[in-house]
Amino acid sequence: MNNTDDSDRLRAQVRSWLERNVPRDWRQTVTGADQDFFVRQQRDWFSRLVEAGYATPHWPEGWPGGGRSLAEQKVIYEEVARADAPRLILFFVALYHSACTLIEWGTAAQKEKYLPGILKGQVWCQGFSEPNAGSDLAAVRTRAELRGDRYVINGQKTWSTLAQHADRCLLLVRTGKSEPPQGGLTYLLLDMRSKGVSVRPIAQITGDDEFSEIFFDDVEVPVEDRVGEEGQGWAVAQSTLSSERGLTLVELTQRMRYSLARFPTLMRERGRFDDPILRRELGGLIARVDAVCALADRYLLKRISGEEAAGDASLVKLNYARTLREFTLLGLRIGGLESQYREGFTRGGSQETGNWAVDFMNSYNWSIAGGSDEIQRNIIAERLLGMPREPRTWQLPVERS
C-alpha cells in the first residue's frame, strides 16, 4: 500500500462491506447449535467472503482478492476483527496451512488440482500431532511404506481440528529410519474418504468435539500426492506451521482488544463497577492486551520489511496464549458465580464470546494448538536468543526418599 489515503480507502471499503454482510445475531444462533448447523453457517459465510475477495487476500495475484500486500492484508484482518465477524474455523486449515504449503512447495499439477477446490468449499484437516509425540514432530511414528506407485500408511493422529468434516488431510508420516529423526519424514496429501481411514471425535470439557483422532489401516496415497521429496517432510511442515503464526495472530489480538469493551459493561451489570481490585486488574489487563497487539504489529512490520527472524512469530503466539488466559479469567471473576454456569458452546467464535466459563476452558487450546508453549519457548531460546539446544536425553530429576 503506497500511502495513508490508499489504506483509508481500503478500510472504508472493507468496513462498508462487512456492515452489509456479517450475519446478524450469528453468535446467538450458533450458541448451543449442533455441528450440522455450524457447518451450514460456516459455508454460507465462507462463500460470501470468497465472492468479495476477502477470504484469500494472502493468496497470489490471479486468485479472488489475491496479491494483496501485507499492509493491505492487515487492514482487512483488523476490520474483520472490529466487525466481530465469525471466524472461518472450518476452512482455516484449507485457506492457510494447505494453500500456503501448496503455493510454496506444490507441483503445478497439485496447485491446479487442489487450490480451486478450496475456494469451492473443500474442507482440510491437519494430521501432524500423535499420541506420545504431541507437538514434537520429530517423534512422529505413523509410518508410510512405498509400494510401487503408492504409499501404504498405518498409525494414528490426534488433536486434528474438525477432521470429522474434512475432505482431505495434510499428513506427516515417517518413511525412513535416518538420523536425525527429522530426516525420515515425508509429507502427503490424503483423501479422507480413502479405504482404511476412520475418524473418532474427542469429547472436550467445553461440551464441543472440535478435535478428532484419525486412524490409518493400510491406507493408500498415490505418489503424485507427495509434497516435496521423500524425507523432506520436516522442511515442508515448517512452512505449514509458519502460515498460522503470522496475520492470524494480528486478527486474534485485535479481536481481544475490541472485546475489552465487554468488561466495563459486565462490571456495571454485576454492580461491581467501583470495585477497586477489579478496576486495577482491568487496568493491568488493558496494558497487557495493548502490549501483545504491539508485539503482533511489530512482527508484521518486520515481515513487511523482510527483517523477520526465526522465533519472532513464536514470541507473539506465546504472549497471546498467556494474555488470553488472563483475559478469560478476569471475565470469569467479574461475572461471579453466575458466569460459572455452563452455557452452550459458541462454535465459530473466538475465546472472547462472553460465555466466560467456556471461554476460560477453551483458552487453554492456545497453549497447545500450533505448537505447545514449551515448543514455542524452545524456538525462542534456540533460534531468537541463540541459546544452546535442549539436550535430547534431558529428564526431570526424580527425588528419592
Give the DSSP letter of residue 95: I
Contact residues for 171 (Cβ-Cβ < 8 A; gap 6+):
127, 142, 153, 157, 187, 188, 189, 190, 221
Determine whether 145 is an active site residue: no
Contact 230, 186 (CB under 8 A): yes
Count of CB atoms within 10 A of residue 303's CB? 16
Contact 81, 251 (CB under 8 A): yes
What does the alpha-carbon distance between residue 350 and residue 252 come to, in Å, rounded to a whole number?
8
User: Which residues fall within 8 angstroms of residue 137, CB to CB, at 6 or more apart?
Assistant: 128, 172, 182, 185, 234, 237
How far apart CA 298 and CA 291 sit, in angstroms, is 10
Q: Can you tell me whether residue 113 is helix, strand or coil?
A: helix
Query: Annotated catalytic residue: which of 72, 130, 244, 352?
Result: 244
Nearest CA-CA partner of 168 in 117, 227, 109, 231: 117
Q: Round to whole Å and give the CA distance between 374 and 392.
A: 14
Catalytic residue numbers, as ranges: 244
